[in-house]
């Protein structure tokens, strides 16, 4: 790819600016071509990860994340139309939450047990992976921007992301207490 080659040739004075150039440049081009800005940001990250400057870019990525991550969550919040959250949307979000938690725990538990050889600790690991906050919001935003889901489904996915984050933290605290007791 072109981006890793360019990054590899950068002098130390340009390492901090280059990720911004890549992010804004790719987003401008891909958005003009009809792609989602979320996809372009992901591609920018993948491209930069292939360069020899990866570690240096990772060091400054905290700045990028604090700026653009916050903006992303504000935008996702603005896309939720609270007036359109009906009983059906709430029911769908509860169903999605139940399925997300169940399958995450069932999917992680056997592999955690293979590594830990302890059911109690494996349950804690599996429950600890249930929050779907950021990932759920990215998927919901991407689906909505591509027209794959409607406003109600988008709102249900956002609620699911919030619920799994809250449930995951609550369940993990209880599991941690349970682990400490015995």
Q: Which of 131, 136, 140, 161 is nearest to 79 (CA)?
A: 140
Q: Per-residue pLDDT tens for 63-77?
A: 777 777 778 778 888
Q: What is the pLDDT of residue 71?
A: 80
Q: Which of 133, 150, 155, 144 is nearest to 86 (CA)?
A: 155
Give 3-state DSSP helix, strand, coil % of the chain, rounded to 5. 80, 0, 20
> CB of 167 within 8 A of CB of 119?
no
pLDDT class for 180, splitting at 50, 70, 90? confident
Q: Which of 72, 62, 56, 70 is nearest to 18 (CA)?
A: 56
- 53-69 burial, b at 16+ Cβ within 10 Å, e below that, comes to beebbeeeeeebeeeee
Q: Per-residue pLDDT tens for 34-59?
A: 887 777 877 888 887 788 877 877 77
Percent of the chain exceeding pLDDT 70 equals 99
Q: Per-residue pLDDT tens for 93-141?
A: 999 999 999 999 999 999 999 999 999 899 999 998 888 777 888 888 8
Q: What's the pTM?
A: 0.68
Q: Per-residue pLDDT tens for 12-27?
A: 777 778 888 888 888 8
Percent of the chain exceeding pLDDT 90 equals 30
> CB of 178 within 8 A of CB of 115?
no
For residues 182 and 177, what is the distance between their CA atoms, to the nearest angstrom?
9
């Amino acid at each position: 790819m072109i981006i890793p080659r360019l990054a590899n040739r950068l002098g130390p004075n340009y390492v901090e600016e280059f990720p911004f150039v890549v992010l804004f440049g790719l987003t401008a081009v891909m958005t003009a071509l009809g792609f989602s800005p979320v996809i372009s940001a992901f591609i920018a990250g993948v491209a930069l990860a292939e360069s020899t400057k990866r570690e240096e870019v990772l060091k400054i990525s905290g700045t990028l994340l604090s700026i653009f991550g916050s903006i992303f969550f504000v935008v996702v919040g603005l896309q939720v139309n609270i007036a359109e959250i009906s009983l059906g949307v709430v029911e769908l979000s509860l169903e999605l939450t139940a399925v997300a938690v169940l399958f995450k725990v069932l999917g992680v538990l056997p592999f955690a047990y293979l590594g830990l050889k302890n059911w109690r600790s494996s349950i804690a690991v599996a429950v600890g992976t249930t929050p779907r906050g950021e990932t759920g919001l990215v998927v919901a935003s991407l689906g909505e921007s591509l027209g794959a889901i409607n406003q109600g489904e988008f709102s249900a996915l956002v609620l699911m992301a919030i619920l799994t984050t809250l449930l995951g933290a609550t369940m993990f605290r209880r599991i941690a207490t349970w682990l400490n007791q015995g």
